[in-house]
Homo-oligomer: A and B are copies of this chain.
Amino acid sequence: MIRFDSDYVSHAHPRILTRLQETSGEQNQGYGEDVHCDRAKAYIRTACAAPDADVHFLVGGTQANTTLISAILRPHQGVISANTGHIACHETGAIESTGHKVLEVPGIAGKITPLLIRKVYDDHWADAAHEHLVQPALVYISHPTENGTVYTLPELEAISAICREKGLPLMLDGARLGYGLAASGTEVTLPDLARLCDVFYIGGTKLGTLFGEAVVICNPQYKQDFRYLIKRHGGLLAKGFLLGIQFECLFEDGLYFDLGQHGVSEAMRIRKAVLDAGLPLQYDTSANQQFPRVPDALARELAKEFAFLSWEKPNETETVLRFCTSWATRSEDVDALIGALRRG
């Protein structure tokens, strides 16, 4: 079985595994207060052109989302998200567990727009009984989105502008950020994110590490006491230096960007094969997820050899599949998939 079902089926990039081996004789202080974390933070600040940002390493994405959102909101406030956003539908209510409502808006292929944000904001404040409603106070986006799409720089700038106009902080979930940075059709860079977002995170789990997400807090208002909040949510890894070592390795010489590029290149080969086979793409994506709509018979045929997700069932005879590549995807595996698509 060749796995395209997710981008977390493989351990870690060989250089990271080697580095863990090389450093295994060390003794380091716990809870992220070690030299590796310090160096990794410095690399990330540089990569983001954000010398004053705070950087924290957490183990996973749900943790990062929950900790950030509950750090920013007051109890009666909620977070605006696409209804397809990870926090809206794939975290078993982790955001609600901190008391906050996810204010869902209909995403457009996973993306939200300034208009949608403005509407939620204006509707709230126009309501005479607004004190009876959850107050919108944060905007959550992901890049790439759960539908594989990416924001263009103008789109992101427009979202940031409406957020600042309305006093809504902007948070970006970058679980797959490396693939978004490498995607064609978008010029968004890390410094853009640091400039346009209040907080965001750089995903490692899906981009070469065993685990780990690097949270970047750009807005000084949200820096205070953040380590308390990580600990409270069970996210302060005892051996935090393991996170430092891995992110050091990713960012000391640009490995992170190379890994993203690899995942995207392989995804683009799948994309081309899908289109060449005359199959439609449900979402027009340029990052590491491809969503062909295929006849059910073909879906069954492909399932004999490949693992993938059945994403949606738009009609009686077709299924939308999700193929996910990653930093670890082997070209020969993609070749096999291309062959199977050609055979139809």
A-to-B contact residues, CB < 8 Å: 1-3, 5-6, 8-12, 14, 17, 20-21, 23-24, 26-31, 59-63, 66, 70-71, 74-76, 78, 89-94, 96-102, 129, 131-135, 205-206, 210-211, 225, 227-229, 231-239, 242
Contacts and interface: CB of A to CB of B under 8 A. Distances in A.
Given A91-B234, A205-B239, 10 more contacts: A1-B27, A11-B26, A17-B20, A20-B20, A59-B60, A75-B98, A94-B234, A96-B100, A205-B238, A234-B234
User: Which secondary structure dominates where chain A touches chain B?
Assistant: loop
A213 to B, nearest CB: 10
27 contacts: A5-B29, A9-B30, A10-B24, A10-B27, A11-B24, A11-B239, A20-B20, A60-B237, A66-B234, A70-B75, A71-B75, A75-B93, A75-B98, A76-B92, A76-B225, A76-B229, A78-B93, A90-B129, A90-B132, A92-B228, A92-B231, A93-B101, A94-B232, A101-B102, A131-B236, A132-B231, A135-B225
B59 A30 contact: no
A270 to B, nearest CB: 17
Nearest to A63: B234
Assembly stoichiometry (copies): 4
Contacts of A238: 6, 8, 60-61, 205-206, 211
Contact of A8 (B92, B99, B206, B239): B239
A221 B131 CA distance: 18
A53 B90 CA distance: 28
Contacts of A14: 24
Interface centre among A62, A131, A135, A206 (most CB of B within 10 A): A131
Contact of A30 (B8, B21, B23, B27): B8
Given A233-B97, A234-B234, A131 B30 contact: no
A10 to B, nearest CB: 6
